[in-house]
Chains A and B, each alone.
Chain A
Amino acid sequence: MHRTDAPAIRLRDVTRTFPSADGTVRAVDGIDLTVGGGEVVALLGPNGAGKTTTLDMVLGLVAPSSGSVMVYGAPPREAVAAGRVSAVLQTGGLLRDLRVGETVELIASMYAAPAPVAQVMARAGLEGIAGRLVSRCSGGEQQRLRFALALLPDPDLLVLDEPTAGMDVTARRDFWATMHAEAEAGRTVVFATHYLEEADAFADRIVLVAGGRVVADGPTAQIRAHATGRVVHADLDPATAAATAARLRALPGVTQVDLDGSRVSVRAADSDAVALALLTGLGGRGLEVVTGSLEDAFVHLTEQQPVLEETR
């Protein structure tokens, strides 16, 4: 393959703003991210978090407003021209009046040394529909075609932007099975998704993005650990609620304390210790302990972003 001594992706303090009707929109607001060779990374976040813009900058389709973007130690356009990075894009990207086989042949003609068309068609499962017009293909078939196009340069880094959007359950499962094979062959895979299960099932590492920034970044197991902690809810004495909340924050293993009137929610790895403290010394009443889900962690981590914005 190619030399892989530089990291696959290196973003340094990258921002991107877009002009809009009322001033400018900050789609990406200072992202630092390094992805090493062979990693499978999920860029997880709600719609509008800046995932697509970030990936567009990695692919050289959009220039950053500030900061630096390097792909295998080179500017993205060079990495694209050298066939080191390719992508499956979220929408569009196909000509409806070309046949499936023609589309693969066309994109192959743009590379100096593409992978054999027949081999790529086989890997993407397109042999049976080579003669079909793109306009007659289902959403899943079109996505497999986009995947075939991405395989043509035999890239080291494969970027997938919401790759399974619009696929049914079977197509989605098949797609990830194919992608597993590519990752095992040593390709670096970075994909954007807002499906938690997808990130959880497929990625080694999850980068949680919200409001154009990275709000959490770590091995999938670690991000999930955020969620396997429990949340303890309790009523506090209204007079001392704020002070009590501060004391709760200081307890070991507590990751988040929210106060809504006199009702407090405490997210902690050791919920028993929190419950004990609340009942014995802190005057907590109406105690409730709830197990968090990955969904909770996601909402929790992405929702605190606006709060951070205000306090900056």
Chain B
Amino acid sequence: MSTAPTTSTATTAPTTVGARTGGLVNTTLLRLELRRVLRDRATIFFTTALPGFFYLIFGASQDYSDEPLGNGNVAMMIMVSMAAYGAVTATVSIGGAAALERMQGWGRQLGLTPLRDATYVVTKALVAVIVAAMPIALVFALGAVSGARADALAWVLSALVVLVGAAVFALYGLCFGLAFRSEAALSAASGSIVVLGFLGNIFVPLSGLLLDVARFTPLYGYVTLARHPVTEGLVVTGSDGTRTESIWIAVANVGGWTLLLAVLATLLVRRGRSRQ
């Protein structure tokens, strides 16, 4: 073998590293990722159509739907809850799919391009937010035409909390995908959201011991905060009507779970790297 010249390697280093396309969002990636999501009919059904249907069944069509609650009515509270459920289902599935596709070789393909990790993460997060906005838009529209009532500000703030809070649960999907590495794990993650939805006081008002336990489950804080602009701290319970609860319980719940999921996702990513 010939020996290569060992001098002046530094001067031949490419200088175009900084000249990468765009900033933190790759619009082609955004467009094509959204197209992929829309192509997946099952996901669209479970994240958008189903929550809308749930709202009509459990909210709009019930006798109690127009009973007053906070500055609005019960239908409004159920509308926010179902929008939250749909948004979380969307972000969990996108987070999980992102973990899986990266491990199934797409990460290696992207690793062969100048695409920065930050651009990938920000663009994917934007995809998650846009997809999460779909059930929110549908359920809120259904609510608007079928008797959900609250202050105008409550509509805006609730929608925002649902949207921003849902992003946290992209981490939940990410953890499932990273830990179990299979399509089945993603179905399990989505399925577990239904269970956590019940435990999180989303579908049926809980009471007693179950409500005490519920306060520690991941969806409880999120949905309580999302309802707060309407309920102003009132919690509907299964047995004794309503009672008030400090907003800090919900804040602590969301903060704790965000931290836990972020740490877990970081550890799982590190484990994945060391195995490569």
Contacts and interface: CB of A to CB of B under 8 A. Distances in A.
Given A10-B4, A112-B20, A79 B14 contact: yes
A106 B16 CA distance: 20
A221 interface: no
Interface residues of A, number: 52
B106 A78 contact: no
A267 interface: no
Given A7-B4, A19-B274, A81-B16, A111 B40 contact: no
Interface in B158-185: none
Interface string A64-108: 000000101111001111111011010111110110001001111
B12 A73 contact: yes
Given A78-B17, A109-B29, A95 B276 contact: no
Contacts of A19: 274-275
A66 B246 CA distance: 56
A110 interface: yes
B114 A80 contact: yes
A111 B114 contact: yes
Nearest to A75: B13
Contacts of B12: 3, 5-6, 72-74
B2 A95 contact: no
A309 to B, nearest CB: 22
Given A83-B114, A98-B32, A102-B32, A107 B14 contact: no
A89 B1 CA distance: 27
Contacts of A206: none
B1 A74 contact: no
A94 B105 contact: yes
B114 A73 contact: no
A165 to B, nearest CB: 13
Which residue, B1, B8, B29, B104, has most C-beta atoms of chain A within 10 A? B1
A75 B1 CA distance: 22
Contacts of A36: 2, 4
Contacts of B14: 2, 72, 74, 78-79, 81-82, 84
Contacts of A32: 1
B19 interface: yes
A122 interface: no
Contact of A110 (B11, B15, B19, B26): B26
A89 B16 CA distance: 24
A36 B5 CA distance: 11
B93 to A, nearest CB: 13
A61 interface: yes
A276 B20 CA distance: 68
B32 A105 contact: yes
A109 B112 contact: no
A34 interface: yes
A81 B20 contact: yes
Interface of B: 1-5, 8-17, 19-21, 26-29, 32, 35-36, 39-40, 101, 104-106, 108-115, 274-276
Given A61-B276, A105-B32, 14 more contacts: A36-B4, A61-B108, A72-B14, A73-B10, A73-B13, A74-B9, A82-B15, A84-B14, A89-B105, A89-B112, A95-B36, A109-B26, A109-B28, A112-B114
